[in-house]
A and B are shown apart, each in its own frame.
Chain A
Amino acid sequence: MSTRHVVARASDVPDGTRKRVTVDGRDIALFNVRGEFFATLDRCPHRGGSFCEGRQTGLVESNEPGVYTYTRQGEIIRCPWHGWEFDLRTGRSKSAPSQWRARTFEVTVAHGDQLEDTSLALEMFPVAVEEDYIVLTLPAARSRSRE
Chain B
Amino acid sequence: MPKPLPGAIDCDVHPSVPGMKSLMPHLSDHWAEVIDQSGLPDLETWNYPPGAPLTARSDWRPQARKPAANVEAMRVETLDRWGTGIAICNALYGVQTLFNEDLAAGLCRGLNTWLAREWLDRDPRLRGSIVLPVQSVERSVDEIEHWANDKRFVQVLMLVGGETPLGRRHNWPIYAAAARHGLPVGIHAGSSFRHPTTPVGWTSYYTEDYVNQSLAFQTQLASLICEGVFSKYPDLRVVLIESGVSWLPAHIWHLDKFWKGLRMEVPWVDRPPFEIVRDHVRLTAQPLDGPATPVAFGQFMEQMGSDKLLLFASDYPHWQFDGDDAVPDVISPTLARKMQFDNPRETYRRLEETKS
Contacts and interface: CB of A to CB of B under 8 A. Distances in A.
Interface in B201-237: 227-229, 231-232
Contacts of A83: 260-262
Nearest to A76: B264
B264 A65 contact: no
B267 A68 contact: yes
Interface string A66-110: 111000000000100011110000000111100000000000000
A65 B259 contact: no
A50 to B, nearest CB: 16
A130 interface: no
Interface string A131-143: 0000000000000
Contacts of A84: 260-261
Contacts, number: 47
B272 interface: yes
B335 to A, nearest CB: 29
A63 B169 CA distance: 16
Contacts of B267: 60-62, 68
Contacts of A64: 228, 231-232, 268
Nearest to B230: A65
A62 B268 contact: yes
Interface string B250-272: 00000000011111100110101
Contacts of A95: 259-261, 263, 272
A85 to B, nearest CB: 7
Contact of B228 (A60, A66, A96): A66
Contacts of A94: 263-264
Contacts of A66: 169, 228, 268
Contact of B227 (A62, A63, A65, A68): A65
A91 to B, nearest CB: 16
A102 to B, nearest CB: 14
A65 B169 contact: yes
A66 B263 CA distance: 14
B227 to A, nearest CB: 6
Contact of B270 (A57, A62, A93): A62
Contacts of A93: 260
- Max count, chain A CB within 10 A of own CB: residue among B264, B267, B270: B264
B268 A96 contact: no
A67 B231 CA distance: 12
A65 B262 CA distance: 15
A78 to B, nearest CB: 8
Contacts of B268: 62-67
Contacts of B259: 95
A66 B268 CA distance: 8
Contact of A96 (B227, B229, B231, B260): B260
Interface string B162-202: 00000001000000000000000000000000000000000
Nearest to B264: A60
Nearest to B265: A60
Contacts of A78: 261
- Max count, chain A CB within 10 A of own CB: residue among B169, B260, B262: B260
A51 to B, nearest CB: 14
Contacts of B227: 65
Given A60-B267, A95-B272, A65 B232 contact: yes
Interface in B82-107: none
Given A94-B263, A95-B261, 5 more contacts: A60-B264, A64-B228, A66-B228, A66-B268, A85-B263
Interface of B: 169, 227-229, 231-232, 259-264, 267-268, 270, 272
Please name the 10 residue pairs, one residue from A and one from B, whose CB atoms are nearest each other, closest first. Answer: A65-B228, A83-B261, A62-B267, A60-B264, A95-B260, A62-B268, A65-B268, A82-B261, A60-B267, A61-B267
18 contacts: A57-B264, A61-B270, A62-B228, A62-B268, A63-B268, A64-B228, A64-B231, A65-B227, A65-B232, A65-B268, A82-B261, A83-B261, A83-B262, A84-B260, A93-B260, A95-B261, A95-B272, A96-B272
